[in-house]
């Protein structure tokens, strides 16, 4: 890892989710060299932060324990930054791209195409699994990679189905690798890390936070050419991923369901709003081929 990248990882570890401040620092110091020389007053003056935060930054940037952690993380995992050549092209141009990505597993999958994100409710109906098998199995045969969030419900089903068909899959976490969430997916995490890929923009020692999950959704949709919603309630966290996909100019697909089923209200509304109705894999394949000019 180049020095400039290492410095970005270090600053990202200290500042955390305040990406706006990190962007401002990069504009002021493109080579990330001056950050270790600025005193408290300079941090306050350059970035309009208060005395407490400026003192914290100066102290932490000189602290050897955080530097040792970064050295360990870089050795233990593959770490990609916005400055890296292997940073995924699909994420580079989205609004608010992740500055640092921690990878565990087959990093070559970052550039795999076609890539489809699959999302949905944590509490699906009994029809969800057979519907997913019917739609996704033909896509696996066409070398589609499935990206999801390793949550319980639809996300977990999607990864497990990919594993069953020995098809590539990527899980994007809302926590660091040392705090796997949900805990009932520890085994799934291990399986995915062995042959597939786990991604997190959070350092390995970062536990899950409620705001991490909607935040990581932009990565799930950003890696993919389109997002498929299997089941979702009308007011659902799943729809945050849809909003991210639309903001990124990505395709949105939705599986229709019964007007009596609460888990289909979100999907049915998406279709009314213009999402592509999906009944079979052909509906997705045709859209992908059209987009690729095939």
Same domain, 12 and 57: yes
Same domain, 72 and 111: no
Is residue 90 in a domain? Answer: no
Q: SS3 of 266, please?
A: helix
Q: Which of 242, 169, 27, 198 is nearest to 101 (CA)?
A: 198
Same domain, 70 and 176: no
Across the chain, which has 294 residues, the per-10-residue mean pLDDT values are: 93 90 96 95 96 95 93 95 94 94 97 96 94 97 97 97 98 97 96 97 96 95 97 86 92 93 92 95 94 75
Same domain, 153 and 61: no
Is residue 93 in a domain? Answer: no
Query: What's the CA gap between 161 and 97, in Å, rounded?
Result: 29
Model confidence over 3-51: pLDDT tens digits?
Answer: 999 999 999 999 987 899 999 999 999 999 999 999 999 999 999 999 9
What domain count does the chain have?
Answer: 2
Same domain, 154 and 288: yes
Is residue 70 in a domain? Answer: yes
* CA distances, 169 to each of 99, 141, 164, 228, 289 (Å): 22, 13, 11, 14, 21
pLDDT at 270: 93
Same domain, 67 and 213: no
pLDDT at 294: 61
Same domain, 46 and 111: no
Same domain, 66 and 140: no
Query: What's the CA gap between 30 and 36, in Å, rounded?
Result: 13
Q: What is the chain's Cα-based Rg?
A: 20
Domain residues for the domain of 25 are 3-76
The residues with which 100 forms a beta bridge, in sequence order, are 81
pLDDT at 17: 75
Is residue 99 in a domain? Answer: no
Query: What's the CA gap between 286 and 186, in Å, rounded?
Result: 36
Same domain, 143 and 54: no
Domain CATH code at residue 245: 3.40.50.450
């Amino acid at each position: 890892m180049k020095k400039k990248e290492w410095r970005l990882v270090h600053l990202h570890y200290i500042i955390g989710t305040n990406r706006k401040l990190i962007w401002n620092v990069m504009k002021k110091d493109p080579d990330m060299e001056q950050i270790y020389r600025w005193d408290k007053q300079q941090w306050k003056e350059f970035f309009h932060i208060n005395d407490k935060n400026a003192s914290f930054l100066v102290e932490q940037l000189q602290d050897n324990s955080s530097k040792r952690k970064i050295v360990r993380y870089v050795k233990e995992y593959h770490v990609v930054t916005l400055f890296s050549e292997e940073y995924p092209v699909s994420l580079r141009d989205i609004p608010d791209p992740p500055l640092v990505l921690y990878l565990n597993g087959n990093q070559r999958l970052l550039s795999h195409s076609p890539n489809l994100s699959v999302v949905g409710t944590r509490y699906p109906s009994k029809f969800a699994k057979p519907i997913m098998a019917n739609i996704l199995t033909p896509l696996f045969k066409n070398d589609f990679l499935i990206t999801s969030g390793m949550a319980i419900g639809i996300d977990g089903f999607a990864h497990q189905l990919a594993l069953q068909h020995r098809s590539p899959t990527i899980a994007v976490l809302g926590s660091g690798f040392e705090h796997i969430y949900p805990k009932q997916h520890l085994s799934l995490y291990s399986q995915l890390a062995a042959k597939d890929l786990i991604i997190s923009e959070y350092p390995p020692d970062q536990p899950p936070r409620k705001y991490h999950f909607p935040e990581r959704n932009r990565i799930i949709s950003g890696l993919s050419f389109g997002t498929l919603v299997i089941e979702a309630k009308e007011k659902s966290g799943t729809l945050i991923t849809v909003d991210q996909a639309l903001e990124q100019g990505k395709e949105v697909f939705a599986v229709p369901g019964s007007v009596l089923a609460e888990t289909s209200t979100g999907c049915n509304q998406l279709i009314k709003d213009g999402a592509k109705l999906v009944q079979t894999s052909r509906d997705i394949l045709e859209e992908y081929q059209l987009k690729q000019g095939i």
